[in-house]
Amino acid sequence: MIQEMGKLYIVATPIGNLADITFRAIETLKSVDLIAAEDTRHVRMLLQHYGISNKVIALHQHNEDKAASEIVEKLRSGLSIALVSDAGTPLISDPGMPVVKAVHEANLTVVPIVGACALIAALSAAGVAITPFTFEGFTPRTSSARQTFFVERSAISTTWIFYESCHRILDCLQDMTAVLPPERSIVIARELTKLHETIVKLPLAEMLTLVETDANMRRGEFVVIVEGAVKIDVSENTIAPEQERILKLLLTECSVKKAVELTVEITGGKKKPIYQAALALSNTNTVLN
Ligand code: SAM
């Protein structure tokens, strides 16, 4: 008799409101042989809520590679496994990638059981241009790395979106304010699906003031959406205000040559006018000490 292989189910769980789970997710969690969870205690609360008493094994960042081969072996032996994270869709800024890759490489089946995802919930309610958008996960941890991250994205003309924690939301907005234009539209979607759900769209400068002055705006979990920059016309032989702003910022940190190279790379502009502007800026000493 040929042994039937098990399947790996990627099961989305709620991002706050426990009612945000599908019938199919509950059925899957009930029917699999094992549940692989980012935090076994956390998932037990959810399972208890739905009267599910299945066996749970740990799958976190630190044991993912080892767990991947063990999960492949278990699937080969015919067991079916559900993978869940602490909240939302697994693998979206959550563990699971090595497991899913290993299961594909073993020619076994991966089945997504769809459901909540904070970035999709935020985008669906934000009222900003969606296609295309770029999801960035979490921003870098240090202020200087974050500012570089924002500078690199400042000329992108499409929407970008990232996750942020309550510990860093204020620092993050301050770093954005240091390098992005004050009128750039920002959406903060906090505590989605929960009691204090808040979705606010404001120009960056006003958003910073709001988060500085309202302590509630520094509590909970955050999705931040940034509307794209107004497109720069690269056919013109002149330098656009956004290019000049980026160039000025880079000139405070780099040589003229490097600042020009990076501005061309970031904005896609023409080298000659950017180079001339860089020379003018450094000669007039407006940005260099
Ligand atoms: N896998 C999850 C998903 O599908 O959205 C994301 C997990 S990631 C480790 C956690 C981050 O997602 C939080 O720090 C926050 O930025 C965002 N997030 C999760 N739940 C949220 C909620 N209810 N409201 C706003 N942001 C949320």
Tell me the pLDDT tens digit for each residue of 202-260: 999 999 999 999 999 999 999 999 999 876 555 566 788 888 888 888 888 888 889 89
Instruction: Kindly report the backbone phi and psi dihedral angles of residue 171, in degrees, each rounded to the nearest multiple of 5, phi listed first.
Output: -55, -40
Nearest ligand 1 atom, CA 193: 23
Q: Is 156 in the pocket of ligand 1 (CB under 6 A)?
A: no
| Among 75, 82, 80, 71, CA closest to 26 | 82
Using an 8 Å Cβ cutoff, are 25 and 12 in contact? yes
pLDDT at residue number 266:
86
* Any atom of ligand 1 within 6 Å of the Cβ of 87: yes
Q: Which residue has the higher pLDDT, 281 or 123?
A: 123
227 touches ligand 1 (CB under 6 Å): no
CA of 216 to the centre of ligand 1 (A): 17
Rounded average pLDDT over 159-171 = 97
Which of 181-185, 262-266, 283-287 shows the lowest mean pLDDT across its residues?
283-287
The rounded distance, in Å, linking the Cα atoms of 128 and 187 is: 8
193 lines ligand 1 (CB under 6 A): yes
Distance from Cα 163 to the centre of ligand 1, integer Å: 7
DSSP-derived secondary structure letter, 92: S
What class has domain 7-116?
alpha beta
> Which tokens belong to 6?
């098990």
Ligand 1 contacts CB of residue 192 (under 6 A): yes
The string of DSSP codes covering 172-214 is HHHHHHHHS-TT-EEEEEESTTSTT-EEEEEEHHHHHHHHHH-
Q: Is the CB of 175 under 6 A from ligand 1?
A: no
Ligand 1 centroid – CA 228 distance (Å): 22
Atom 23 (ligand 1): residue with closest C-alpha? 192
CA 88 to chain CA centroid, Å, is 13
Which two three-digit tokens encode residue 110? 């991966």
User: How buried is 132 (Cβ within 10 angstroms: 0-12 exposed, 13-18 middle, 19+ buried)?
Assistant: exposed
Mean pLDDT of the chain: 91
- Does residue 13 line the site of ligand 1, with CB under 6 A? no
Rounded to 10 degrees, the C-alpha dihedral 106/84/61/45 comes to: -150
Dihedral over Cα of 9, 94, 44, 193: its sign: negative
The reply to whether CATH 3.30.950.10 applies to domain 119-226 is: yes
| Amino acid, res. 80 | S
pLDDT in tens, 267-278: 888 888 888 888
- The string of pLDDT tens digits covering residues 78-105 is 999 999 999 999 999 999 999 999 999 9
The residue among 33, 77, 84, 32 whose CA lies nearest residue 58 is: 84
Question: CA 155 to CA 43: how far, in whole Å?
Answer: 41
Report the nearest atom of ligand 1 relative to the CA of 90.
1
Close Cβ partners of 1 (under 8 Å, ≥ 6 residues apart): none
Q: Tell me, what's the pLDDT at 287?
A: 37
Amino acid at 251: L
CA of 197, closest atom in ligand 1: 24
Residue 27 CA to residue 50 CA, distance in Å, equals 10
Residue in 177, 165, 176 with CA at minimum distance from that of residue 218: 165
Strand positions, DSSP E, the chain: 8-11, 34-37, 56-58, 81-84, 110-113, 133-138, 159-165, 185-190, 198-203, 221-226
Token readout for 228 is: 């794209």
Ligand 1 contact via 190 beta carbon (within 6 Å): yes
Task: Judge if pTM exceeds 0.95.
Answer: no
289 pLDDT band, cuts 50/70/90, is: very low
**CA-CA distance, 72 to 28, in Å (whole number)?**
19
Ligand 1 site, residue 15, Cβ cutoff 6 A: yes
Q: How many CA atoms lie within 13 A of 240 on its CB side?
A: 18
Distance 24 CA to ligand 1 centre (A): 22
Distance 191 CA to ligand 1 centre (A): 9
For ligand 1, say whether the CB of 164 is within 6 Å of any of its atoms: yes
